[in-house]
Amino acid sequence: MLNPDLFSRQLTWLDAQRFVDRQVLAHVPSESGFEQVCLEVLQVSESPAAPGTHQFTIAFQGPLNAFLAQGTYQLRHPDLGEFAVFMTPTAKQADGFAYEACFSHVV
């Protein structure tokens, strides 16, 4: 179960830029409780948005031996701490699974 306090933390565009070329740990349910899966942050990109809205996406890659279904995961960044992030698998590649998290904030 995710810590409910994590849902009150908002990952900002400035925070997301600090994710680039870093690894984060995903706290993933398993048969024995929880395990940590290392995800590589491949890209952080802004998306066109309506006035008063800021949108961005974080692209991750995870290992082939640990598929993460679409859902909300607790991610731990070495400098920024922990966040609850909704991620979607986008592709199975030769070297792992690709995932995406999309953010939309009112500014």
In this structure, are strands 53-62 and 33-47 parallel, antiparallel, or unpaired? Answer: antiparallel
| Cα–Cα distance measured from residue 60 to residue 65, given in angstroms and rounded to the nearest whole number | 15
The encoded tokens of residue 19 equal 């994710």
| Cα–Cα distance measured from residue 40 to residue 43, given in angstroms and rounded to the nearest whole number | 9
Cα-to-chain-centroid distance, residue 87 = 6
With a CB cutoff of 8 Å and minimum separation 6, the contacts of 9 are 81, 82, 83, 84
| Residue-range domains of the chain with CATH | 4-106 (2.40.10)
Q: For 15-42, what is the mean pLDDT? A: 88
pLDDT at 40: 94
Q: For 65-74, what is the mean pLDDT? A: 94
- Could you tell me the pLDDT band of residue 6, with boundaries at 50, 70 and 90? low
